[in-house]
Amino acid sequence: QGGMMGNKGMCGMMGSGMMAPGMGSLSSEAQQKFLDATKELRKKLHDKQFEYGEAARNAKADKKDLLKKRKDIWELQQKIHGKAWDFMTE
C-alpha cells in the first residue's frame, strides 16, 4: 500500500540515495562529484517533496496548487537526471 506516492514513499523515482539509474557504474570519486554537484538541487527536491506531501494530506488542498508542486518536483528531477547523464557520458 504505497498510497499516492507509490511504494517508494516520498523518494519517488530518485530513490533514497538520490542516485539516478546507471550511476552505480561510476567510480566512487565520480559518484561523489555528482552528489556534490547536485547537492542544492537534491535539497530543493527534498523540500518540494515534503511540501507536496504536507499539502496533499489536506482534503481541502487546491488541486492547481498540488499540480504546480508536482510540476516543480518533476522539473527538479529532470535537472538531476540531466546532470546524471552528463556524468555518465563524460
pLDDT tens per residue across span 31-89: 899 999 999 999 999 999 999 999 999 999 999 999 999 999 999 999 999 998 888 88
Long-range contacts: 77-84, Cβ < 8 Å, 24+? 77/12, 77/13, 77/14, 77/45, 79/41, 80/14, 80/18, 80/20, 80/38, 80/41, 80/42, 80/45, 81/20, 83/34, 83/37, 83/38, 83/41, 84/19, 84/20, 84/22, 84/23, 84/34, 84/38
Delimit the domains of the chain by residue range. 38-90
pTM: 0.72
pLDDT value at residue 19: 61
